[in-house]
Structure 1
Amino acid sequence: MHLPTCLPTETTTFVGRRAELVEARTLLAANRLLTLTGPGGVGKTRLALRIARQISRTFPDGVRLVEVDTVHDNGLLMQTVATALGLRDIGEDALDRVLEFLRDKSMLLVLDNCEHLGTACGVLVAQILAVAPAVRVLATSRHVLGIAGEQLLPVRPLPVPGTTEARQDAVTLFGHRAAQAHPDFVARRADRDTIAGICRRLDGMPLAIELAAAQVRNLSPKEILDRLDDRFVLLADHSCAVPSRQQTLAATVEWSYDLCSPAEQRLWERLSVFRGGFTLAAAETVGAETTDLAGNLLDSLAGLVNKSIVARDSESRTVTRYRMLETIREFGSDKLAQSGMASEAGRRHRDYFLAQTEQWAAAWFGPDQLAVAARTRAEHANIRSALRFSLQDPQETLAGARLAVTLDYYWTNCGFFGEARWWMDRVLPIGGLPAGIRLKALWLSAYAALGLGEAARALDESAQAEDLARQSGGPDELALVLATRAFVLGVFTGDPVAADACYVEAIENFSSASAMNGYLILTHAGRAMVAGLAGGHERAADSARTAIRLAEAHGELCYRSYGLYGLALAEWRLGNWSEAAGRALDSLRLKLQFNDVNGLAHTLELLAWTASSAGDAKRAAHLLGVASRVWSWTGSKPLLGSEYWLIPHRACESSARAALGERAFQAAFDEGMAHSPDLSHAIAHVLGEQPAPEPILTMRESQVAELVTEGVTNKAIATRLMIAPGTVQAHMANILGKLGLSSRSQIASWVVQHKSI
């Protein structure tokens, strides 16, 4: 079974590179590490993605893209790699988890833009190659990684007229991009020599050619060449130490910058603070430093799009998301630093995302949960950038700490326990933290340790958090900490009496708080789980039903899945195996929507125990195989390393082995693992479904679906897309029909499941 490739869609024609494609395939067949080297703008990324697509069928476990350019901390490199691999909740042993996951895989890893983390990337690749003999790595970097076994393929500029090569790929590229920029553009016979001159002047550098071709909206080819000549004469002697091709690219980007209006230049600089793309609203906040910029920002952004400085993000379904190529972004960042406005722009960027996350956190409890998860996930790279900016500047650490703890809903529910703890390790040492922020950071660190199965740390930090909450916390804060402390005690110490006392006090404190809190639902669900493990089956069922009732009353889905798990556990203990399986399957469906891999693994385990108790040993063994595969995608110890979960796991496995015999058990177990090449296949298999082919939405339908996910009304969608309200209704009908759905919230759920993390 082949996994699908996880690569962005090509939105423009691919030109030339036939020889490089053939050579790259040959080199990768004979070598396990191939690094495409060359200056920025020469086309390394585009070539790597084309190579990966061409050879993807030779890798049964698929292709994974790791975009290193969005990472600027060595410590987050492993988190990013793990996320690209589909692993979640990676903790301090992230490297071990990644290596263990890759050990038996036949997979191609594409590491793009490694130069700024070259040493860390080199060390990581060396370790991967040492333990995973069927994994190959295709890297792009301006510099070699410098490790044993690295095969290099220099990526050179495209052939231009007047060279010894017959091909004129540079001219072809100019023609394609010019036609894209100006659909009526046709290269006349008289223009051919001029276009050839442009390409020669640009040394065949693809990015430089694309920037020049974009100017056909406003200039003729002759005018473009004349202006290039002027610019390059001025810059020709700037640095003899810099290779001519790099001078060419720098000069072309500088030339494009000079062609921008002052407002466009300033906006270009300020937009360079974004990572992983940005929305129009974000651009308006960060770019609106002056009244002039604010008043003309939309026109300025349109001008940058027209000049190919900013591009629509092909990976986003929304009409207002944009992205810069890294070379363009770096140029703008340098200009921003020279202007002395880098700190101000960084502060605006951070403040925007702090305000956004506070809004999203407030909206998390309720029917918009899936949409909130999608919006936060789309901005993950920007959030990291904002945290990095804040926590490395002593003047900004308080705002950074606020941002880090405000994201608790995302870290804990969407698969980022390991990253939560990574940031808390940087927040907690900050001196002078307000008590409320320190308390929440300490709680979040303890909660993350719990999710990672780190018993000692979870016990210690939850005790510290309880002490602090009793000293300075309000009823909500104390309740939150007590609920976490209760679960830690129940899971790791096996003290159900102390755990239940904490739960009772937590519920009392939540009840005295001013507003309903989603964590109250989780508290009832957690109490059900601990009681179910400890033998209090009736109390477990009552607590779980309370959690489910509260969740349903408020349109809550995430914590409802925990209530369903708690009820399934109680029903299993009570001998109601059919009811237990049904509740567990309901929980499984909800957890999949949030990509809660840890919760999915727990639920698969429970389904296996239920099958074993019902006498279906083969299904139990099969489900244990599926669960084992899913556990390998988490950063947690299986079943958190807790004896109170491991005991029924061992009993289930022992019973199934005895009933089937060793050979039949292993065959069923292996079949379960084999049917789980990725999460969607694993869960679809357990649910008795076939992973459906992804419905194909038109571009406009995709735009409407994304805006629905953002919570935009039909009337507002019509305004945003400049179409009639009736047209929006027609698109909505088409979307619901294609996806087999019946409501806007289901559309939001579908978008979340089909959107990259």
Structure 2
Amino acid sequence: MSQIRAQIPETTQPLTARETEVAILLADGLDSAEIAARLSIAPSSVKWYLRQVFHKLGVHTRQDAVLRARQLALSVPENAPLESAPHPSGTAPRPLTSFIGRNRETASLLSWLDAGATRLLVVTGAAGSGKTRLALAVAAKAGEHSNRQVYWTDLTGTANPQLVASTIASALGVFIKPGQGEIPALAEHLGATPALLVLDNCEHIARECAKVSVELLAGCARLHILITSRVPLPLEAARTWQLDPLPVPASEELPPAEIAACESVRLFTERACMVVPGFAVTAQNAAPLARVCRRLDGLPLAIELAASRIKMLTTAQLAERLELALVLLTGSGPVGAQRHATLRAALDWSHGLLSESAQTLFRRLAVFAGRWSLEDAEAICPSGTLAAADILTVLSDLVDQSLVVVERPRGGARRFRLLEVIRQYADEQLRAAEERSLLRRSHAARFAAVAMEARGELNGPKQPAWTLRLEQDRDNFRAAMAWGLDVPEGIESGAEIVCTLSQVWQLRGEFAEGLMWSRRYLASPHPIPHQVLASLHESTGFLAVHAGQIDEARTHWEEAAAIFAELEDPAAVGRQLHYLAHATMGTDAPRAAALAARGLALEQEAGDQWWTSACLFALGDASFLQGDVGKAADCYEKSQVLARQLGHSFAIARRCVRLGQVARARGDLEGARHHLGESMRVAQDGNDDWGVTMALAAWASAAASVGSPRTSALLLGAVQGRLDQYGAVLWAFDRAEFVRTASTATALLGEDAFREHLAAGRTLTPQETGSLVNDLLEPQAPSVLPESPGSPAVRLTPREVQVLHLIAAGETNQTIAVGLGLSLRTIERHTANVYLKIGVDGPAARTAAANYAFRHGLGPEQDTLAIPRKNPPRRH
């Protein structure tokens, strides 16, 4: 082993420049979507790079990746937090304020996780009692002190019970495969490993949350689910934990030190320090502080609201004013009702201290579902007494009064939200002011305008940033689409949103939700303008084909083409013909060619370069399937010229794939290697995950063509694994190519060996697939070795020669893998390829391989082979 180790640097595998950028932004607190926007790459590509970063750094968690990066002196700021709001998708958010008290409750819930008596626990309690903060504390400790994976989903903005499962899947980044339901997909993702899933704020959809929880627990034997809700779930199997408010001082006459140590007073003190630095409990203010906390029943939210006023009022004044507000609402009655009245009184009191403009903005902010931006508030909330120019100032006041929460993502614009109990209170004020209908209309118009603006950018270089923007406002778009179905005047704006979000649903694999909204709008009794209706059919077909519903997709595109023809929009008709060509290609290639040719003529006449390029690509595919390689090559080359003029990296990568396939069909293996190498490089540099998948499929075909069936089968498995991950299906041309390649590899390997390699390929890391491609890119000639004088030549890749040399040196597969910085599975594959090529097998194969190496000058004592130092992997 020392022979290898002396030539390998004692470091982690080096990161590429792009991987280093991703690692730095990860350490800086950005989630995958924000990294995608910052680097102008696709969110799915960020996940691909993160897998490479984790693999190369030898870590499994985000925190370990940051720490390892710092050890290697990457350019990560020393003060970069390990967690930051907003949190990465599916993980628990990191509160910006500390957690006070609740040690007993936290310990009890952690012991529940370990006890195993019941795997479903519901934390109930009054509004403002701190259920979410307790769940956050439990999630944090569960993740830190055990091998349990922790997942988090906030269901506050999920008004439709039918979307509970899809919301959880989206939060966890789970892609739904075509024909697969959300529950099976979630169960597959959660697997059999220990996990904790937290579902926060479930009271408004309690019944559906109960149903989803039962189904998930049935499919995941080591899963625990923690739910927060103001009401118990209708489940006998669930354990209910009633969360009481924080302890309050037993008396106002206690010594100041005892009052200061009480958890409710500690909470008040810390939050007051955020307003008045240095605030502390003293002999003078201890009694009024105790009175405030006692009168607020220890409710954390009410205490925080009161503490926010300490800059304007003394503790004595605060206690007096609260007393006046509370006496009007509280009295005899059930404890829960009294606590609700206490919180309501605190909100009334805090609201009453606001200026008129602040009250106006506060109630109007209730129209938002989830989070919003400053620009959103400026567009929707102005009134006769509140100018758009004043929104920022007034919003800042609401933040200072703890009525609005501000999220501060590093490198991104601020986002705002209302805690749910406060949003409900604000909504009451909005209804009382009789402004709700007006605000819902303005809200829908605003987000329809955002969707329309995004639609023009989603096929261009700004696509990653706009995808992030649309995903951030998921709840607002859902609210706008729901309103559009309820009122005739909203149907058009809602349908426009559906058309735009179709691309985001496709990207996220959320076909079920996308098709649900699309079908509901198409079935609406309210008339939809013909232009919008045609676009709705087009986008519905787009979702259906990616979900594997080819016949439904074809029906929608035919309907869209007919409507666009009536509207005399030939370019739009050309788009539908392009889609129909792809949908027809698997069953009738000549008809597909005719459709693509008609679409091409319409797009050329309209002067649309992008869709001209797309139609040329479709015509090339149809020609290729008919065996006309020359015409296919001509179409691909013309399409590529347009793609390069547009600077569209996604299109360039796909056309490189096709040109490589043309070269392979013509027997030009070097030309195929050139084009496919460019396709991988462009796709990776442009962070085009689907382009990488297409390129890997083409490389699998190339491997079969040059007599490397094992590599071909492994790459086919890698392609299938990626398709499963992203919930996608291959379109007709690529599906036919996949089947042909699989048939060739099966004939060369045998069915059992092919299935074994296909299964192994599905679990390959990006590093391992890159190694396979690098082997195919390396020149073969230097490694052609004769078995013996007059015997046929044996063709080994440079990597296989290197592995053979180390086998002769007595190294095991495990030590070779460690020394070369590759996985054991990769070395086992190289070893199997060597054995197959040199013709050795059985228990003595390793000895026979070593003898072969010595006969050909590859032994460890011979200097004919230099083992290079480990270099950064090529990016192809």
Aligned counterparts of 1:83 and 1:359: Cα–Cα separation in 2: 24
Give 1:503's aligned residue. 596
* Contact kept? 2:265, 2:290, Cα under 8 Å: yes
* Structure 1 residues 674 and 275: CA distance shift in structure 2, 3 A: farther
Correspondence for 2:490 among 396, 400, 404: 396
Residue 632 of structure 1 aligns to a residue whose secondary structure is helix
Give 2:197's aligned residue. 109
Taking the TM superposition and a 5 Å limit, the aligned residue runs for 1:355-374 are: 355-374=449-468
Correspondence for 2:399 among 298, 302, 305: 305
Residue 353 of structure 1 aligns to a residue whose secondary structure is helix
* Contact kept? 2:361, 2:395, Cα under 8 Å: yes
* Contact kept? 2:657, 2:676, Cα under 8 Å: no
Give 2:153's aligned residue. 66
One-letter amino acid of the counterpart of residue 485, structure 1: L
Give 1:15's aligned residue. 100
One-letter amino acid of the counterpart of residue 17, structure 1: R
* Structure 1 residues 150 and 590: CA distance shift in structure 2, 3 A: farther
Aligned counterparts of 1:350 and 1:92: Cα–Cα separation in 2: 32
Correspondence for 1:429 among 499, 523, 543: 523
State the number of aligned residues. Answer: 679
Correspondence for 1:448 among 530, 540, 543: 543
One-letter amino acid of the counterpart of residue 579, structure 1: H
Give 1:673's aligned residue. 763
Q: State the TM-score, normalizing by the size of structure 1.
A: 0.81
Aligned counterparts of 1:267 and 1:343: Cα–Cα separation in 2: 16
* Structure 1 residues 589 and 614: CA distance shift in structure 2, 3 A: same
1:478 aligns with 2:534: no
1:285-332 CA-partner distances (Å, limit 9, x unpaired): 111022534353222111101101112114574344212211111211
One-letter amino acid of the counterpart of residue 103, structure 2: R
Aligned counterparts of 2:612 and 2:286: Cα–Cα separation in 1: 71
* Structure 1 residues 211 and 527: CA distance shift in structure 2, 3 A: farther
Give 1:339's aligned residue. 433
Residue 306 of structure 2 aligns to a residue whose secondary structure is helix
1:539-565 CA-partner distances (Å, limit 9, x unpaired): 444444444433332343444454444
* Contact kept? 1:436, 1:473, Cα under 8 Å: no
Give 1:552's aligned residue. 644
Residue 243 of structure 1 aligns to a residue whose secondary structure is helix
* Contact kept? 2:502, 2:543, Cα under 8 Å: no
Between stretches 167-176 and 146-155, larger displacement belongs to: 146-155
What is the Cα deviation at residue 340 of structure 1? Answer: 1.3
One-letter amino acid of the counterpart of residue 446, structure 2: Y
Give 1:748's aligned residue. none
Aligned counterparts of 1:333 and 1:649: Cα–Cα separation in 2: 60
What is the Cα deviation at residue 517 of structure 1? Answer: 5.8
What is the Cα deviation at residue 105 of structure 1? Answer: 4.3
Structure 1: gaps of 5 or more residues: 691-757
Give 1:754's aligned residue. none
1:28-80 CA-partner distances (Å, limit 9, x unpaired): 22132222222222222222222222222678683332221121122332332
Aligned counterparts of 1:217 and 1:314: Cα–Cα separation in 2: 23
One-letter amino acid of the counterpart of residue 543, structure 2: A
* Contact kept? 1:277, 1:313, Cα under 8 Å: no
What is the Cα deviation at residue 377 of structure 1? Answer: 2.2
Residue 272 of structure 1 aligns to a residue whose secondary structure is helix
What is the Cα deviation at residue 98 of structure 1? Answer: 2.0
Aligned counterparts of 1:686 and 1:72: Cα–Cα separation in 2: 47
Give 2:226's aligned residue. 138
Correspondence for 2:174 among 87, 99, 103: 87
1:321 aligns with 2:418: no
Aligned counterparts of 1:685 and 1:3: Cα–Cα separation in 2: 24
Give 1:125's aligned residue. 213
Taking the TM superposition and a 5 Å limit, the aligned residue runs for 1:179-578 are: 179-237=273-331, 243-294=337-388, 296-315=390-409, 317-412=411-506, 415-430=509-524, 431-491=526-586, 493=587, 495-513=588-606, 516=608, 518-532=610-624, 535-571=627-663, 573-574=665-666, 576=669, 577-578=672-673
1:169 aligns with 2:263: yes
One-letter amino acid of the counterpart of residue 400, structure 1: G
What is the Cα deviation at residue 347 of structure 1? Answer: 1.1
Residue 101 of structure 2 aligns to a residue whose secondary structure is coil
Aligned counterparts of 2:91 and 2:131: Cα–Cα separation in 1: 18
1:360-400 CA-partner distances (Å, limit 9, x unpaired): 22233433232222222222222122111222222321222
* Contact kept? 1:7, 1:49, Cα under 8 Å: yes
Taking the TM superposition and a 5 Å limit, the aligned residue runs for 1:670-709 are: 670=760, 672-673=762-763, 675=765
* Structure 1 residues 211 and 193: CA distance shift in structure 2, 3 A: same
1:39 aligns with 2:126: yes
One-letter amino acid of the counterpart of residue 102, structure 1: H
Residue 363 of structure 1 aligns to a residue whose secondary structure is coil
Aligned counterparts of 1:268 and 1:684: Cα–Cα separation in 2: 54
* Structure 1 residues 564 and 337: CA distance shift in structure 2, 3 A: farther
Give 1:715's aligned residue. none
Aligned counterparts of 1:238 and 1:349: Cα–Cα separation in 2: 41
Aligned counterparts of 1:385 and 1:401: Cα–Cα separation in 2: 13
What is the Cα deviation at residue 12 of structure 1? Answer: 1.3
One-letter amino acid of the counterpart of residue 461, structure 1: H
One-letter amino acid of the counterpart of residue 80, structure 1: T
Aligned-residue CA RMSD (Å): 3.5
One-letter amino acid of the counterpart of residue 763, structure 2: M
One-letter amino acid of the counterpart of residue 476, structure 1: A
Give 1:648's aligned residue. 740
Give 1:713's aligned residue. none
Structure 2: gaps of 5 or more residues: 1-58, 63-89, 775-819, 822-876
Aligned counterparts of 1:477 and 1:591: Cα–Cα separation in 2: 28
* Structure 1 residues 540 and 419: CA distance shift in structure 2, 3 A: farther
* Contact kept? 1:421, 1:444, Cα under 8 Å: no
Aligned counterparts of 1:7 and 1:686: Cα–Cα separation in 2: 37
* Structure 1 residues 468 and 292: CA distance shift in structure 2, 3 A: closer
What is the Cα deviation at residue 8 of structure 1? Answer: 2.1
Residue 673 of structure 1 aligns to a residue whose secondary structure is coil
* Structure 1 residues 103 and 63: CA distance shift in structure 2, 3 A: closer
What is the Cα deviation at residue 128 of structure 1? Answer: 1.1
What is the Cα deviation at residue 482 of structure 1? Answer: 0.8
Residue 111 of structure 1 aligns to a residue whose secondary structure is strand
Q: Which has the larger radius of gyration?
A: 2
* Contact kept? 2:710, 2:757, Cα under 8 Å: no
* Contact kept? 2:305, 2:350, Cα under 8 Å: yes
Give 2:723's aligned residue. 631
Aligned counterparts of 2:449 and 2:279: Cα–Cα separation in 1: 44
* Contact kept? 2:585, 2:733, Cα under 8 Å: no
Residue 750 of structure 2 aligns to a residue whose secondary structure is helix
What is the Cα deviation at residue 630 of structure 1? Answer: 3.0
Q: State the TM-score, normalizing by the size of structure 2.
A: 0.71
